[in-house]
A = this chain, B = another copy of it.
């Protein structure tokens, strides 16, 4: 039984690990070259398996694509939830923390390529697009809206419509991660990320802060 279970578990472990290995390889290539321009040969080669193996785990190239997105988004979503939990702080500080952490989690690392991928393929995969819009964007928006609202309520931020502001505020981060996976490839001059983030925070917090600089701020 020991041997059986050992044997089984070794196989099982392999079989369970496979899909992630495959989607990881596929993510890299989809981000690099787009969905259509990526050949299954390449994905298989990068994952170190044969072409046929892909079909043991995914019914078609499209299904593989969807799995890549779904699996790639799980960390995003988990991170989002985690950040929601760690919120007790003044809005400005909180905003900084969220931004820095987001960049760490998403900006670096391979899942940062997903937004570009979604943008490129949204029209060809409406199902994926809707899923992404609802499960990722709306969820992220709710998170940031809550931060903005807290700042407004406390007087730290000026009165404004958080549902609009959230798009404006988040855009520079999205553009940066999109840029990284598209035009950044060549020899274009790009601002270093630490400077970019510092100036970003400065610009946004100035743009958001209240005109009447009494109370609030360092208070609490």
- Please state if A167 and B161 are interface contacts (CB–CB under 8 Å): no
Assembly CA distance A172 to B167 (angstroms): 7
Question: Does A8 belong to the interface (CB within 8 Å)?
Answer: no
Q: Which residues of B contact A200 (CB under 8 A)?
A: 168
- Please state if A183 and B116 are interface contacts (CB–CB under 8 Å): no
Report the minimal beta-carbon distance from A104 to chain B, rounded to whole angstroms. Answer: 19
Assembly CA distance A126 to B163 (angstroms): 37
Q: Which residues of B contact A6 (CB under 8 A)?
A: none
Q: Which residues of B contact A175 (CB under 8 A)?
A: 167, 171, 174-175
Q: Which residues of B contact A208 (CB under 8 A)?
A: 203, 206
Report the minimal beta-carbon distance from A30 to chain B, rounded to whole angstroms. Answer: 11
Please encode chain A, from 164 to 199, with 1 for each CB lying within 8 Å of some chain B CB and 0 for all others.
110111011011101001110111100100011001
Assembly CA distance A206 to B206 (angstroms): 6
Q: Which residues of B contact A97 (CB under 8 A)?
A: none
Residue among A34, A132, A163, A200 facing the most chain B CB atoms (10 A cut-off): A34
Complex A-B: 9 CB contacts under 8 Å: A32-B123, A116-B119, A118-B182, A122-B183, A126-B186, A129-B186, A133-B188, A167-B175, A168-B196
